[in-house]
Amino acid sequence: MPQTATAQPEKKPSRIQLRNRRKILDAALDVFSQHGFRGATLDQIAEAAGLSKPNMLYYFDSKEAIHVALLNALMDEWLAPLAVMDPDGIPLDELLAYIDRKMEMSRAFPRESRLFANEIIQGAPRILQDLEHRLKPLFDEKCRLIRTWMEEGKLAPMDPGHLIFSIWAMTQHYADFEAQVQVLMPDTHAAQESARTHVAKMFRNLLSV
């Protein structure tokens, strides 16, 4: 059982294991992000991964195990742009840089964005714990930081929590609702580019004191 996340003995994974686990997780990202957990099937994932279904289940105990592993593996990566915000930087620059990083991630990793979006829209049944224990502390910490900046008069005053929500909403919209954006603004490339400057301007305007 190479996949058990149980404990001590844990041999180091072989090259084959690493390669196949990566293939599975990548395929799962494709399928889960497109159909959500219940809508995705093991056969789809197996085919996308180029493995047989039993072979896949040799690496992960169950469908749910794949999903959880995927979310866990991506969570840190997904939160990195926020985590990196520097208390010693120039407040407005830090926030605008954060927004730009998020816009860039949305553009570069739409599958990841939709994976989380699907999970959360459906009530986050499989990552509520993670939200509590990994997202919440980070969120609270950054809210305190931003509030401090505002109290020092470095940023326009507002609720830091809602500010962060605004940033998430705006940046992820272009990835999560890409199908709609594409219908309404057919020139996707231009839309992406102008979206970036639009969002940047919007928040600069909002945050400037």
Partner DNA sequence: TCGTGGCTTGACCAAATGGTAAAAAACATC
Partner DNA sequence: GATGTTTTTTACCATTTGGTCAAGCCACGA
Residues making contact with DNA (CB under 7 A): 2, 11, 14-17, 20, 40-43, 51-55, 57-58, 61-64
Contact with a second copy (CB under 8 A) among 26, 158, 192, 200: 158
Q: Residue 40, exposed/middle/buried by CB under 10 A (0-12, 13-18, 19+)? A: buried
Shortest Å, Cβ 13 to DNA: 7
Nearest CB to DNA, comparing residues 36 and 161: 36
DSSP H helices in 109-209: 110-121, 128-130, 136-151, 160-176, 178-184, 188-207
**Size of interface with a second copy, in residues (CB under 8 A):** 51
CA 203, CA 209: separation in Å to the nearest integer?
12
CB of 47 to DNA, least distance (A): 10
* Helix (H), strand (E) at residue 77: helix 63-83
Confirm or reject binding of residue 16 to a second copy (CB under 8 A): no
- Compare residues 15 and 189 and give the one whose CB is closer to DNA: 15
Contact with a second copy (CB under 8 A) among 42, 79, 92, 131? 131
* Structural contact between residues 62 and 41, judged by C-beta atoms closer than 8 angstroms: no
The residue from 2, 4, 5, 39 that contacts a second copy (CB under 8 A) is 39
* Long-range Cβ pairs for the range 1-4 (8 Å, 24+): 1/61, 2/58, 2/59, 3/59, 3/60, 3/61, 3/65, 3/69, 4/61
Binding site for a second copy (CB under 8 A): 34-40, 114, 117-118, 120-124, 128, 131-132, 135-136, 139, 158-159, 161-163, 165-166, 168-170, 172-174, 176-177, 179-181, 183-185, 191, 194-195, 198-199, 201-202, 205-206
